[in-house]
Structure 1
Amino acid sequence: MKRILVPSDLSDISENALRVAVDIADRADAEIYLINFTEHPVETFTATGEIDKKYADEENIYTVQLVQKYQQQLSALSTKYGAGGRTIHFQVYDDELKGGIVDFIKDYNIDLVVMGTSGEESADEFFSGNHTEQVIEVATCPVLSVKKHYVKSDYNTIILGLDTERDSKDNFSQAAAYLNDLADSLGARIDIVNIVKPGTNDKVKIERKLIDFAARYGIKDHSVTIVESDDKEKGLINFARTHSAGLLAVFSHAEDGFFRIFRDNLSEELTMSSDVPVLTINLHNV
């Protein structure tokens, strides 16, 4: 866990995500990449942060000035949170968010994306999800979503909400490796939790499946818990709250467009509802 990407729209929500990224980076001795994704015609900045004027033609002057403003704001955030020798790189990246994330993760070998989220989804975003969900759909590394009012806590426990269902595209080996890496970096223990309906009779069988899963994929320093609840989302969130979890992790099958809407996407529900930061690993991408 050496490189953390924080996409920023320079809002209070994304600054809160930066605070969480700093907490994790301090524990993991990681570098942070604070990036604003905006399509623009600017190719270079001078050593003082000014735009190279040969690229600032009149046709693009408004966008150029906007990029310059973003660059200055990112620089200020880097200075504000870079105290104590932290490494925070910053850049206005020439691409829209969804496509830019894919390229940036690949080009810079990013290990974790930390994103702020309002926990809201407007009608015009329904078919593509909010920005965090769009990133989860395409990211080839884990994505940590942080609500805007999240207050710093310890990261001693990671709750992994795990189902026993799977398909041929699921890459559990890599997902478990990512989770172990993060847990090692944070010094955290993993509690594997499965939510079952009240009165379920085969809890012993389910527990055995979870134990076998942990052994097969090498999940370190863990425990297994079966929780009864009529609602998976509420059951996981309540368990995370009552056990003072630092992170709530889920393995996702995030899909694009219409197909995503008709799936029981627990990751999306948790991202919208949970006050505990939600770590999502897309099993089809990692």
Structure 2
Amino acid sequence: MRRILVPTDFSEQAHYAFEVAVNIAKRTGAGIKLLHVVDMPGSSNFSTAGDGGYHDGMEQLFILRLMETTKTKMAKLISKVEHEGVVVVQEVDVDSIVNKIKRVIEADKVDLVVMGSKGSSGMDEFLVGSNTEKVVRVAQCPVLTIKTSNPTFDIKEIVLASNFRREVGKAMDAFKYFQQLFNARLHLVYINTPGAFESSSNLRSKLAHAAEKYDLHNYTINIYNDTIEEDGILHFAEDINADMIMMATHGRTGLSHLLSGSIAEDLVNHTSRPVLTYQI
């Protein structure tokens, strides 16, 4: 791992995400980019050189001052987290938040995004969701979502929830990397629901085959019965007091996402535990 991206809005959760990113960087030798995006209408036409076509002079001046203030906040954030030995760079831009993050991931060849999230619920979740949820949907690298303070980030028990079909193999290298990075125990879990019920013996055989296929070590196999998959993952993680949940997501967008939803994105919104997602 060489590059970690930490988008920040200077919230408590973003501060927690930076702490976790520093912890991971110290373990891996990675560098960190702190990114703040000023999300404003017409921002795609803005230029710090002053040649924007959409904004008049007053708008240009306002945004330039806003960016200078933001850089000051960024410096304060960096100074509050002990990061000796970790290279931290910062970027401030005016753009669409999710689109900017997506472009930075591609341009910088980012290996991991660490984001703070407050989650969302109710009508807000139905209409727009959270920025973190949207990044989970579009990012072409693992995304680690952080909601609570965890500066030591001592990960010992990891839940890997999946149906363990063939496509999950695309994410397995990332999941194994994190397990080995923290020398953690991996709990493979299949949530058995009434609408898609299978016998425990068949499911255990399926999980054992997956563990052998992907050369997993230090793991347990678990079949957990619940009414819906999301609740089952949350309840299982609570039962074993998991330190982190890992899931693959299909990253669907548009109508297909509205119709099918995403269990991984729901988890990002509804659990306080760190969630590592990987789009397949």
User: Residue 101 of structure 2 corresponds to which residue in structure 1?
Assistant: 101
Q: Give a deviation string over 1:218-256, Cα, whole Å, max 9, x none.
A: 444332211122232222122222323221011111211
- Equivalence map 1:136-151=2 (5 Å): 136-147=136-147, 149-151=148-150
Bigger mean CA offset, 125-134 vs 262-271? 125-134
Taking the aligned partners of 1:163 and 1:42, their CA distance within structure 2 comes to 48
Taking the aligned partners of 2:124 and 2:187, their CA distance within structure 1 comes to 37
Taking the aligned partners of 2:232 and 2:30, their CA distance within structure 1 comes to 33
- Matched to 2:48, the amino acid is V
Counterpart of 1:251 (choices 240, 248, 251) is: 248
Q: Do 1:78 and 1:90's aligned partners in 2 also have CA atoms closer than 8 Å?
A: no
Q: Aligned in 2, Cα 1:115/1:232: closer, same or farther, shift over 3 Å?
A: same
- Matched to 2:89, the amino acid is H
Counterpart of 1:222 (choices 219, 224, 228) is: 219
User: Residue 241 of structure 1 corresponds to which residue in structure 2?
Assistant: 238
Taking the aligned partners of 1:121 and 1:238, their CA distance within structure 2 comes to 19
Q: Give a deviation string over 1:82-136, Cα, whole Å, max 9, x none.
A: 4432222111135322211222112222111111111214646634431011101
Return 5+ residue gaps in structure 1 as ranges: 45-56
Bigger mean CA offset, 77-86 vs 134-143? 77-86
Residues 1:193 and 2:184 are matched in the alignment: no
Taking the aligned partners of 2:206 and 2:49, their CA distance within structure 1 comes to 53
Bigger mean CA offset, 183-192 vs 118-127? 118-127
User: Residue 266 of structure 2 corresponds to which residue in structure 1?
Assistant: 269
C-alpha RMSD over aligned residues: 2.5
Q: Do 2:37 and 2:94's aligned partners in 1 also have CA atoms closer than 8 Å?
A: yes
Q: Do 1:150 and 1:275's aligned partners in 2 also have CA atoms closer than 8 Å?
A: no
Q: Do 1:127 and 1:257's aligned partners in 2 also have CA atoms closer than 8 Å?
A: no
Task: Calculate the TM-score normalised by the size of structure 1.
Answer: 0.83
Instruction: Give structure 1 regions of 4+ aligned residues with deviation exceeding 6 angstroms.
Output: none
Bigger mean CA offset, 31-40 vs 271-280? 31-40
Q: Do 1:137 and 1:282's aligned partners in 2 also have CA atoms closer than 8 Å?
A: yes
Q: Give a deviation string over 1:15-69, Cα, whole Å, max 9, x none.
A: 121122223223333222111123452269xxxxxxxxxxxx6550000001111
- How far the C-alpha of 1:155 sits from its partner, in A, is 0.4
User: Residue 53 of structure 2 corresponds to which residue in structure 1?
Assistant: none
Task: Calculate the TM-score normalised by the size of structure 2.
Answer: 0.85
- Equivalence map 1:150-189=2 (5 Å): 150-151=149-150, 154-165=154-165, 170=167, 172-189=168-185
SS of 2:155's equivalent in the other structure is coil
Aligned residues: 266
Bigger mean CA offset, 118-127 vs 93-102? 118-127
SS of 1:241's equivalent in the other structure is helix
- Equivalence map 1:120-131=2 (5 Å): 120-121=120-121, 123=123, 126-131=126-131
